[in-house]
Amino acid sequence: MTSITDAFWAFVLISILLLLGKYIRVYVRVFQALYLPSSILAGLVALLLGPEVLGRVVGLFGNGEGALASGIFPEPLLDVWSRIPGLLISVVFAALFIGKSIAPPREIWRDAGPMVVHGQIIAWGQYVVGLLLFLLVLGPVWGINPMSGALIEISFEGGHGTAAGLADTFRELGFEDGADLALGLATVGVVAGVLIGTVLVNWAVRKGHLKEPGKTDENEQEQLSEHDERELIEARKEGSDHLIDPLSIHLGYIGLAIGLGWLLHKGLMVIERYTWVAAGGPELMRHIPLFPLAMIGGVLVQIVLDRTGRTEKIDRQLVNRVSGTALDLLIVSALATLSLAAIGTHIGPFALLALAGIVWNILMFVLLAPRIFEKDWVPYGLANFGQCMGMTVIGLLLIRMTDPDNRTGAMHSFGYKQLLFEPVVGGGLFTAASLPLIAQFGPVPILILVTTIMAAWAIFGFLKFRR
């Protein structure tokens, strides 16, 4: 049983690993070129020094015995790390909209409508591709769990944070290896997103769709690599001298958002129990994690702040630092406790899911983006491509490369898009609900559902925005 002392030293060691990851990224140029954040590098170092790599290597020579047979980390510390992602992901999502002035939906749609449509088609299509792959290949050949059909969207569109945050849901629903596969796919998506995104930029230049891409200097690379992957719109107004500075106040708002999300979760469970379950239906709400509802709680907190004129008193940069720290901690802890054995057991499905997700995302950029965006389709399309590969920061990077002077407005639209996108997919409510829905109703009904939604977005997009 872990103690508060174990938790303390677990956080101390993560902090040291983050510092080590920072120095590795600074001095190893290839990691800068791939825009890998320090948290991912720190997590990979912890994985190498833990039971999955160092422990197994030592075990090969010592029959599973010896001081390093389980790596350099004691079991209680690893136990703390395994629990961190499921808790801190609620902090990340609760802070998404706190301190951001939420514009009227009509204004958001005017500026970001085509980008929302393009992003929605990609996200729902990732479910379609994953579920079809399960029905045609993964299930018949390997007999893997049907929930594997949701892994592409959870990993690529949701990213490391979402993949780690859903670990408990995977475990409760009987697909424990799913969390490890999701984290592995998210890591593949980040690396492939940078490499393939750069190739697509050069392809667009050669084809005459884009002028010579802009270059990012070393300082800008540093800022991009350490950018909180979900921070896009600054709501802090320059020149305001009424900001509430103490960290404790901002933590209070985040805590309030999580509390509202918890109450909403409990309320939905009660309603479900006396309606859906009473009529003979299965329990679904108890399998949905807290973090998407904490995000809704954050939206409610921000609406109250807007209505009472207190948004200017919130330092969005400070909220972002809290969210970024929570995200760093959960990524390190999730990668440190990643089971390589689980990925090795399912290496065939893992490789096929990664390949299918990458191909789908490329096709949606090359074939769909020119038909959805009226002009400047390359920076707009690459923004969504970067995000759907696993990290919002890759979308930001590709916008900087294709539109360094922000001439097209892609950066602005990309920021507004999140307000109509993330509450549902990319880590939103449906992303969290997809696992219990597949577990309860099976892959075929959910495939019909997501195909219908994707087709509806596609039809609407072509009728409304087609060039």
pLDDT higher than 60, residue 227: no
- Percentage of the chain beyond pLDDT 70 is 90
Average pLDDT over residues 406-432: 84
For residues 31 and 105, the answer to whether their CB atoms sit within 8 Å is no
pLDDT higher than 80, residue 251: yes
What is the pLDDT at residue 235? Answer: 40
- Percentage of the chain beyond pLDDT 90 is 41
259 CB neighbour count, 10 Å cutoff: 14
For residues 264 and 423, the answer to whether their CB atoms sit within 8 Å is no
Average pLDDT over residues 298-326: 87
In this prediction, residue 230 has a pLDDT band, given cuts at 50, 70 and 90, of: very low
pLDDT higher than 80, residue 447: yes
Domain definitions of the chain by residue range: 4-215+319-465
In this prediction, residue 178 has a pLDDT band, given cuts at 50, 70 and 90, of: very high
In this prediction, residue 219 has a pLDDT band, given cuts at 50, 70 and 90, of: low
Average pLDDT value over all residues in the chain: 85
Task: Using CB atoms within 10 Å of the CB of residue 327, give its burial: 0 to 12 exposed, 13 to 18 middle, 19+ buried.
Answer: buried
Amino acid (one-letter) located at 188: V
Virtual CA dihedral for 41, 43, 47, 48, nearest 10 degrees?
A: 30
pLDDT tens per residue across span 90-116: 998 899 888 887 777 788 888 888 999
Dihedrals phi, psi of 267, to nearest 5 degrees: -65, -40
The C-alpha atoms of residue 52 and residue 71 are separated, in whole angstroms, by: 8
